[in-house]
Structures are given as C-alpha cells and as structure tokens.
C-alpha cells in the first residue's frame, strides 16, 4: 500500500489590476511600487509592461485602432490566464479605447476572475513635462504622430474602480491607495 499525503493548497486569489492613463502618467512607476509591496507580503505578482509586451508578444503590430485593440486583447488574455491561477497581475498599459478595456473586463467576468480598472489621471500638461520616453518632445517636433492624448484619442474611463491623480501625491501614496482597494475588495 502506498501512502499519498493529502496536499492542501492555500486559497490564493489572483486578480488583474489594469492601470490605464496617458504616456508618462506614472502607471508603470506605481505598478512597480505596488509589486514590491505585494511581493514583500508574500503574494505571487507579475507585471505586464506595455513596452515589453509590444516587443515580445505583439511585435509587428502598429498603432492603428485595430492594432491597439489586438494588443490590449492579447495582454488581457495573458493577464486573465495568470490571474485565474492565483497571480496578482499588474498591467500598466495605456489601452486608449474604452471598448477594448471593456472587452478585457468582460473576459475576466465570464471566467470569474477579479479585474480592477485603475485610471492614473495625470493631465497631459504634467505628462508632457515628465516625458519619460521623449514622446511628447518628438510629437511637438513633428517626428512622430499618433501620440495618445495629443493627436490620437484617449477615452478616459467613466467609472474606474479607482482614479489616482499621481500629480497630487507621491508614488508610495498612489500605490498605498491601490493596495487599500485590493484589501477592501478582499483580494489580499
């Protein structure tokens, strides 16, 4: 007779936390701050950075509305897959169109996977001063076009789960507000 011990797994709740906002709004910075805190608390965390996704998962896609939608759906699929397996997935991705974000939320809902939409609501004037990647300067110089929030649309979420005004608080305060939301929703 072979003894097989019962394996009891701790109930781990995964969730997708999508941080949407303009370029240089602070999405990725807040996500990294929160990821560090969650990992320190023992949570399984993945961060799906928009730039990395474009390089590895969505290489070849441009910035047309259709390509942006495809990119967001790919990211949403990976996020839901990870979240449904107990991972806290932080997604600092612009996702400029409401219908694309809604499709990701619906996918999560149909799978029973928690999903939170966080709007990092930093005004374009502040983003253009931060200009982390030099995109606003390139757009102003006529070197690029189609910059989200400047000469390409950004549809702000009408009723996000949380709105963060990163220009009015520190990165740590922004991450703490998001941590509080996760706690309030029973996801920590």
Contacts 24+ apart (CB under 8 A), 174-182: 174/26, 174/30, 174/33, 174/120, 175/30, 175/33, 175/34, 175/37, 178/17, 178/30, 178/34, 178/118, 179/34, 179/37, 179/38, 181/116, 181/118, 182/15, 182/17, 182/88, 182/116
* Residue 27 assigned ligand-binding role: yes
Angle (deg, nearest 10), helices 65-83 and 98-111: 20
Task: Answer whether 85's CB lies under 8 Å from 128's CB.
Answer: no
Q: Report the pLDDT value the prediction gives residue 40, as an integer from 0 to 100.
A: 97
- Tokens 């929703």 identify what position? 185
* Residue 182 assigned ligand-binding role: no
Residue ranges of the chain whose pLDDT lies below 50: 8, 10
Q: Report the pLDDT value the prediction gives residue 166, as an integer from 0 to 100.
A: 92
Q: Report the pLDDT value the prediction gives residue 132, as an integer from 0 to 100.
A: 87
pLDDT digits (tens, 9 = 90+) for 128-162: 999 889 999 999 999 998 899 999 999 999 999 99
* Residue 142 assigned ligand-binding role: no
* Residue 28 assigned ligand-binding role: yes
* Residue 26 assigned ligand-binding role: yes
What are the residue ranges of helices labelled H in the chain? 27-40, 50-56, 65-83, 98-111, 124-130, 135-140, 171-184
DSSP reduced 3-state for 17: strand
Q: How far is CA 173 from CA 35, 162, 176, in A?
A: 14, 13, 5
Task: Answer whether 97's CB lies under 8 Å from 67's CB.
Answer: no
* Residue 23 assigned ligand-binding role: yes
């Amino acid at each position: 007779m072979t003894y097989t011990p019962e394996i009891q797994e701790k109930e781990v709740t995964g969730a997708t936390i999508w941080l949407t906002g303009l370029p240089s709004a602070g999405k990725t910075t807040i996500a990294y701050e929160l990821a560090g805190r969650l990992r320190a608390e023992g949570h399984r965390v993945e961060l799906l950075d928009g730039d990395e996704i474009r390089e590895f998962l969505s290489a070849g896609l441009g910035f047309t509305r259709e390509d942006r939608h495809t990119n967001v759906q790919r990211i949403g699929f990976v996020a839901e897959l990870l979240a449904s397996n107990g991972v806290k997935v932080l997604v600092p991705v612009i996702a400029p169109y409401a219908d694309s974000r809604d499709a990701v939320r619906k996918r999560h809902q149909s799978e029973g996977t928690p999903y939170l939409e966080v709007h990092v609501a930093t005004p374009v004037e502040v983003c253009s001063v931060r200009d982390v990647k030099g995109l606003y300067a390139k757009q102003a110089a006529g070197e690029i076009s189609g910059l989200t929030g400047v000469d390409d649309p950004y549809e702000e979420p009408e009723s996000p789960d949380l709105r963060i005004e990163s220009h009015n608080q520190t990165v740590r305060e922004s991450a703490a507000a998001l941590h509080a939301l996760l706690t309030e929703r029973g996801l920590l």
